[in-house]
Structure formats: structure tokens, C-alpha cells
Structure 1
């Protein structure tokens, strides 16, 4: 009896183990092999059809012997792809009508391929082999197309058609009246349409989330709202975009086109300002970083050429060189859509200093705007910065820069904007800037520069606007309340 009871307990333990194993999400695990498996029958069945056609030539009849083995391999892989596809479909998130159409076409391909194997093996309906094979290829093509629509979106094939809508949209790289532009309609929605709609639309609801409309964005997905309390860092719509590429929750997934730093900045700004569906650019507060992004979106060419942008174009910077800067917290963002020029901002890298300045040199042909405010940038860093031939804007406020550094900046003939607020520069250094005939804007608040030196600089470069800050508005009578003590 003791042995029998022990045997029964062992059987029960094995059953419990099997139940635990089966309770795992094996169906989804196997289903995710569908994209891998589905390409095998496509290739094999197309090859079988080509061999069938070629074997009709008398000189190539020998190829007929290869059709059946290839066809059998294609049929088996088609069955495996169908099984994996059925398991994957159980995860949900797809438009039912589109999914059913793709599924039945795939099953049709598998059935026809099996029938062709039987017909060839037993030499049945020989005259029908080629027409049936042709029907199978047509069905295979249609199934692949609708499967692509489920994965990438309905306009995946036509979105970039050179003569179609995609080309027209791509050509609109700047907004004529940016201040009046609707932030959601003209800045945010194009980003979502380009990078997010393929997985979050009416036909494909990945995570139960649609992003093709403000109502859907506010509703959120399976895990609730994706925008939370004007805090981008707490909003899933933004958080998923900045996760590590190795993270499974990152969006867009690894291997798909990612958002540019400029696009990330626009989404961050929009969410931070309340994610309004109707606000215009001028209605929202412009952070310093967002101001740079907006300036980069100004129209270029003709009479609207941006005064702080070089006229020529340049090739894009190497991702490795950009990555070296971003690794230490420095942001590199494009300033326009049609050239390789970039703005570099150390707003989140306060430790940036003389040593790190060398990382700018590999991007010397691309950097036009450089923001090093509140960093450890010193005089030796300016020696490196003076080697940036396209630099037009330089922000150095609240850095340890002195007159010694301005010696190097005097060689930046293309520099148009220079912010030295809160630095240790004096008259000696400022007068060196007389050589910078292109300099249009100079900011000197909280420096030791005297009025005499400013007067001399203005005479040497009359077109230069010099801002010394420290403004005080005159007191008006209407601004003052006078309280009189009333005698009781």
C-alpha cells in the first residue's frame, strides 16, 4: 500500500508540473515565430512555380523532377506558418476583418500546396498543375500583402511613392507661418503618423492603443491613459520612446525607424504644455531647447533664409560621433530637415568642460548652434570651438570663460550670436571681438565690461546689437498705491 500511495503522489506531482508548464504562454511564444516561418513557404512555393513553368520547355524538362520535393517542403512550411499565425492571432490587437482575410488566404495557400503535392505524386490532373500553381501564387501574394498591412499599416507600400501623397507630404519640410501653426495638427500628428500609426491604428491595435486621433490618445490602451498630467516623464507615450533599445517595451521597436531628437523634443514639449489639440505654437511657452527646434523649422531659401543658418548643405554626421556626445548627456538635434546641420546642447550635461570639447571636432562641419550654458566650459575649450567653421550661435552664459578664451573666438568669422552673460570677461576680451564683423547679437549682462569699451565696440561694429541686461522699468504714478493713515 505504501508503494502504491507513493506512486500515486509521484503521478500527481508530474501532472501538476505539466499543468504549470502548460499554463505558460506557449501559444504566444510559438506564434511569434510566424513572421520567421512565413517567409519560407513564400520562397519555396514561388520557386516550385518557376520550376514548373521552366520545365515546359523541352530543353529544361529535367527540372520537372525537382518540383515535387520543393513543393512538399513549401507545403509543410506553409502549414507550420498557418499554425504559428493562428496562435499569434490569439494575442489580439488586430482588426478582425483584416485578420480573417489574411488568415483564410494563408490557409488557402496551405491547402492548395498540399493538393498540388498529392496531384503530382500520383500524376492526377496533369493539365491543371500549372493553372492551380498560378492561383496559389496569386493567393500567396495577396496573403502576404494583407499580412504586411496588418504589421506595417495599410499605406506601407504607397506612403513613400515618389509621385504620390507621400512625396507631397515629404516635400513640406517647413511651415510658412510657424507661430500660427496648430501644434497637434501640424507638428505632433505628422510624427505619430510617420512613426506610430503602423502599429496603433484602427486595423492594428497593439496594446489596445490607437494614436490616430486625439480622442483615441486620451482614451489610452490596455494599461490606461498614455498622457498623464502634463508630465512627459510619467506619460507612457513619451516614456516608451526613450527606453533603451534593448528594452522590449521601447517604441518604436528595435529595427523600425526611430524618432529623431527633434521629434522627441516636440512631443515632450507638447505633453509638458498640456497636450492641447487646438493650441498654436505662439500659445505655448517656448523653452530654450524648443526655441532652437522651432527656429530650425523655419522656411529656408529665397527671402526667408534664416540669418543663423549656412546657405550650403552638408552631409549628415556619423552616428558614432553623435553617440559619443549623447553618451555624456549632450543632445545633438538637427536644425533643418533638408541638410545635415545640427544644434548641440549641453543643458543636461553640466559637467561638460575643456576635456569633453574635443568630442565636438568630428562634427565640426555640421555644428551651427552650440549651447554650453551653465557648464564647465573654459578658455581651452574655446580653442577647440574656434575650429568649428559653420558655428553661428554660441551660448556661454554662466561658464568660467575669461578674456583668454575670447582670443580664440576672434577667429570665428562666421559667428553671429554670442551670449557671455555671467562670465568673467572684461574690456580687454570684448574689444577683441571688433574683428568679428559678422557678429550681430552680443549679450554681456553681469560682466565686468565698462560703458567705455561698449561705446568703442559699437563704433567699430555698428550693426551689432549689444544687450547688457539689468533692465528697470520706470515707475509710473498709476503703478503706485499710496496708503494714507486715517485718523479715528
Structure 2
């Protein structure tokens, strides 16, 4: 605490009078908070000394070699610029810290390390100036150690600055497991992925569904170390309490809840959360938060205790899907799909959702998109690597659409029931190597079309009820695919656990 008092006195005695003199006329004629305005330039200014002072160290090191001795002349002017940038960053950082909302311990470390960088850069500049004189030539041997110490402090200050902005585990969250073991960083925290829910109806709504969403998207700015707007979201009591602008939640009224209102603002809006440039909530995550708040924002209720609207049911089912056996999910990993490409389909009333809680693979359900046709099917191509399940039953697609669907490299489930496809279209699937489930119920497929599926070695389940396919053709297909299960219908089918989920309201 004594060191902080000395620092505060130093600021009051030297820097603040200079700033007051410099901005006096501006403050007298212009509205606004100049201290906060200058303070918010800290993230911009702080990158200047980082780059410049690293160059100084490199020049200092290379300049000692005879082949690069000519670089010595450049060190002093570059160092002078870096020193000024470091001092300016300290001033802006001090003013920004006065706005509050930061973890005191992290802030203290970042502040003093930043001051250390500025002080050493000043000492190095003085040393280089004096070492040119004969009586101070001995100082020259200290230039490289000072530059090295400056870089070490610069790195440490940057680490604590990043922890203030993104959270102390920001880097380790994304660390590969092999590197995590090598460095002893421990196991990944729950913030890195949505958990698999064994039985979603028994899940705690806040703890198992809402909290992981907040952890992924909101904790970096609203945690024990940083409380933007005085708001903490990592504690249910503090979440309910709210921040500087009042309560974050209004149970039963999502659009009157500050938390949800800011999420739904356009990303360009200043008050939009998370801030532009940071990972945003998906439409499904936002919908789950809206449902939770509309249900009264309970912190201790299970899914089965709440009313589950029709549009929320498949989203909850997706959280449970990766815990089910026999679910057709590709084994290889894939990058996340672009939100804009999913939005295009959602505007066509296509339900786009993940096939599993922690999977980037997608299932597309066309239950509300009956008018989807051959002209629309090209919208699937931007997502072709992510699409694993297509439920296109009862849509307007024809054989022409199968040419596009045949290009999906990771498709494992395909529903074509009650569509206008024929033998011509089904032949487009002959080259598929991932398809495991195919539903042709109520289509015009005949023996000629089904023969093309003999090449689809991955196929495990086939539904052909109310088609013109003969028993002879089915036997011929099974001779090529011995593990294939063919359902010809005419009886009550056993429901697969991932086909239908019934929610019983108590």
C-alpha cells in the first residue's frame, strides 16, 4: 500500500499538473470527461512501447556484433520514442484504472510492471547518453542487461494486462491438451465447452445450461478479476443483484432485462454485449437465455419443472445428443460454421442447430420450411463441411437437389420422406462414404434406384416404407451391405432415441 501511495503522490505532483495545464482551455470549452477519454486510449498506446522497445533490445544485441555495429546509431532515437510511448501508456493506464471495475491485485501488478518498463527505458536512455563520455564509459556494459530486463518486465506487464482484459485463464483455455500436460496448466475448465447432459429433462436450467453460456461468452468481462459496469456474472447472487446500471435481470421479461437487451442490440451498437470483436452468442444460446429469463430466471429449477416451448425443445435435445449411443456424428473434427451462413438458412425458416453439445457439426431441420426447393438448396454449400444431418422431409426438393446434397462430405443422416425424388436423384448418393441413415418413406424410389446404394458402404439404416422397392432388391442390397438394417414398415416402428423426444410436463 505504501508503494501505491508514493505512486499516487508522484502522479499528483508531476503528471496531473502538466495535464491540467495542457488541457485547461479544452476542458473549459468542451463537454465530456477528459480523464476517461484519455484513459481509454491506453489499449491503443500500449502497443507502441511493446513493439518499439522490443526493437531496441534486438538492435542492442545485434549492434554489439562487428558486422552490425552500424545499428548502434539507430538505438538512441528508437529508444527515445519507445520511452515516450511507455510514459504515455502509464499516464493513460492510470487514468483508465480510476474508472474502476478491475481486480485490484491484477491491476496493481500490471501498473507497477508498466511503470518499471518506463523507468528502465529512461535509465537505458540516460545510460546510453552518458556512456559516450570517457568518465562514464563503464556504463556501456549495462546497456544490454538493462534492455533484457526491460523486455522481461514488458512481457510480464503484458501478461497481467491481458488477464485484466480477458481473464487470467484466457490463454490456458485454448491450450492443446499435450501442451497443457507439458506446462502443468491443469485440465480445461468448464468454460471451454458446453457440458454433455445425460438426461436434459433432469438438468438444472441455470447450472447446466445458462451458466455454461455465460461462462463462454460473458465471464471475460464480468468476473472476479474484472467487473465491467460493476457487474459480475460468475456468481448467481451477484448476477441477480446487477451492476452500476441496476438489475441485470427482470424475471419473466427478457426484453426488459438489461442482460438480454444488450445481447440483442446490433453488434455495431456501443452497448452491445459481448463487445464487437469478441465471440458472440449464437442464436440458439440467445434463445435459451431468453427462455430462462421468460420462465422467471430460476437458479434452482430443473428443465422438467419449466414449460418448454416447441422452438426450445430441439435446442435442449441437442445438448443431450452427444451423450446418446448410436448418434450419427462424424468422428473427425471440423471448424465452426460462420454465423452469417446459418442466418441465411434460418431466414428461410430452417432450424439450424448443433448435433451435440460440444460439436461444430450441424443438423438442419426443415419442418417449418415446407416451401424449400431446388433453387434454395445452394444455400447449403457454405455449410457443406459442417452439415451432418439433413431432415428435408415434406419439402419441395426434386432430383436436382440431390446433386448438391451429394457434395456434402460429412453427411451422416438424410431424411427425404414424402419428397419428389426418384431413382435418378438417389444415384447422386452412390459416391457418399459417410451416410449411415437414409429415410425414403413415401417416395417414388424403385429397385433401379436402390441398387445404386450398394456402393454406400457406410449405410447402416434404411427406411423404405410405402415405396415400390421389392423384397428381391432389398435382399440384393443386404448381400452387398451385410450390416444394413432395412425397415419396410407396415407395423409400429420402434422409435430411435434421437428421432423423437417427448417432454412430460409435471
* Shared fold per TM-score greater than 0.5: yes
**8 A Cα contact 1:329 1:346, kept in partner:** yes
- CA distance 1:220–1:318, shift in 2 (3 Å): closer
Query: Which residue in the other structure is 1:261 paired with?
Result: 283
Distance 1:233 1:395 in 2: 39
Equivalent residue, structure 2, for 1:305:
326
Partner Cα separation in structure 2 for residue 328 and residue 21 of structure 1 = 53
What SS does the corresponding residue of 2:352 show, helix, strand or coil? strand
1:186 CA drift (Å): 2.1
Displacement of 1:61 in angstroms is: 3.3
Gaps of 5+ in 2: 1-23, 430-434, 451-460, 467-486, 496-506
From the superposition, tell whether residues 279 and 227 of structure 1 become closer, same or farther in structure 2 (CA, over 3 Å): same
Does the C-alpha gap of structure 1 residues 260 and 172 become closer, same or farther in structure 2, counting only changes over 3 Å?
A: closer
What does residue 76 of structure 1 align with?
A: 84
Q: Residue 340 of structure 1: CA displacement? A: 4.2
Match of 1:67 in 2: 75
Deviation at 1:44, TM superposition (A): 1.4
Whether the 8 Å contact between 1:27 and 1:87 is mirrored in structure 2 is yes
The answer on 1:53 being equivalent to 2:61 is: yes
For 1:275 and 1:395, the matched residues in 2 are separated by: 39
1:220 corresponds in structure 2 to 242
Q: Distance in 2 between matches of 1:193 and 1:394?
A: 35
Q: What residue in structure 2 maps to residue 33 of structure 1?
A: 41
Asked whether the 8 Å contact 2:329–2:355 carries over to 1, the reply is no
1:249 and 2:271 matched:
yes
Is 1:343 the counterpart of 2:369 in the alignment? no
Q: Distance in 1 between matches of 2:392 and 2:271?
A: 32
Instruction: Measure the CA separation in 2 of the matches of 1:416 and 1:97.
Output: 58
**Equivalent residue for 1:322?**
342
> CA–CA distance in 1 between the matches of 2:403 and 2:332?
20
Aligned to 1:42: 50
Aligned residues: 412
Partner in structure 2 of residue 445 of structure 1: none
* In structure 2, distance between residues paired with 1:316 and 1:135: 40
Deviation at residue 388 of structure 1 after TM alignment: 4.5
Match for 1:101 among 109, 112, 119? 109
Q: Which residue number corresponds to residue 167 of structure 1?
A: 188
Rounded Cα–Cα distance in structure 2 between residues aligned with 1:120 and 1:440: 85
Identify which of 230, 233, 237 aligns with 1:208. 230
Q: Deviations over 1:95-134 (max 9, x none)?
A: 2343233222212211221222122112243333233333
| Alignment of structure 1 residues 428-447 onto 2, 5 Å | 438-439=462-463
1:63-462 counterparts in 2 under 5 A? 63-123=71-131, 124=136, 125-161=139-175, 162=177, 163=180, 164-167=185-188, 169=190, 170=192, 173-298=195-320, 300=322, 304-306=325-327, 309-310=328-329, 315=334, 319=338, 321-326=341-346, 330-337=350-357, 339-344=359-364, 354=373, 357-358=376-377, 360-362=379-381, 363=383, 366=387, 368=389, 370=391, 379=396, 384=401, 388=405, 390=411, 392=413, 405=420, 438-439=462-463, 460-462=489-491
What residue is the counterpart of 1:483 in the other structure? none
**How far apart are 1:38 and its partner, in Å?**
0.8
SS in 1 for 2:284: helix
The residue aligned with 1:464 is 493
SS in 2 for 1:138: helix
Name the structure 2 match of 1:6: none
Return the TM-score normalized by structure 2: 0.68
Residues 291/313 of structure 1: CA separation in 2 closer, same or farther (3 Å cut): farther
- Please tell me whether the aligned partners of residues 193 and 216 of structure 2 are also in contact (alpha carbons under 8 angstroms): no
Aligned-partner Cα distance in 2 for 1:352–1:332: 16
Pair 283,48 (structure 1): closer, same or farther in 2 beyond 3 Å: same
CA distance in 2, matches of 1:171, 1:92: 30
